[in-house]
Structure 1
Amino acid sequence: MNTPTITSMQEPFTRDRIVEALQAMQPDATIDDAIERLVFLAKIETGLAELDRSEGVSHEEAKRRFGL
Structure 2
Amino acid sequence: MTTTKEKVQSLLSKLPDDCSVEDVQYHLYVLEKVRLGLVVVDNRETLISQEEAEALLRKWLIE
The TM-score bracket by the shorter chain reads: 0.7 to 0.9
Among candidates 1, 4, 19, match of residue 9 of structure 2: 19
| Higher RCO (C-alpha under 8 Å, 6+ residues apart) | 1
Q: Which has the higher helix share?
A: 2
Deviation of 1:14 after TM superposition, in Å, equals: 1.2
Root mean square deviation, CA, Å: 1.6
Gapped regions of structure 1 (runs ≥ 5): 1-12
Among candidates 45, 49, 52, match of residue 35 of structure 2: 45
- Partner in structure 1 of residue 44 of structure 2: 54
Gapped regions of structure 2 (runs ≥ 5): 59-63
TM-score (norm 2): 0.74
TM-score (norm 1): 0.69
Amino acid at match of 2:25: I
Superposed structure 1 runs of 4+ greater than 4 Å apart: none
Per-residue deviation, residues 4-53 of structure 1 (Å, max 9, x unmatched)? xxxxxxxxx61111111111111111100000000000000000000011
